[in-house]
Amino acid sequence: MRAKANVVFHGRVQGVYFRASCRQDALGRGLVGWVRNRADGSVEAVLEGERDAIEAAIEWNRTSQPYARVSHVEVSWSEPSSDFSTFEVRR
């Protein structure tokens, strides 16, 4: 089932290649959307695709990012928008 998740990752997530690694993982799972740094030091992502792939991507980003230390994650689910054709890093 297709879904969309708005996700905020907190912890040591900026300056550690988090966004690039998130993008690579998302593309590998067939997800579309975007990821960006936030002014408060967190990283925000919108992930759209199959719900199980989104859940796996969130878990991978939470536990397996090579240099990041994620302290907690906020997730809100919504209906997919089909607004995206790829996964991009936003500035």
Q: Which residues are catalytic?
A: 19, 37
CA 74/CA 23 separation, integer angstroms: 18
User: What letters, b where the CB count within 10 A reaches 16 and e where it falls short, cover 23-46?
Assistant: bebbeebebbbbbebeeeebbbbb
Please, are residues 48 and 4 in contact by the beta-carbon 8 Å criterion?
yes
Tell me the sheet residues that pair with 32: 48
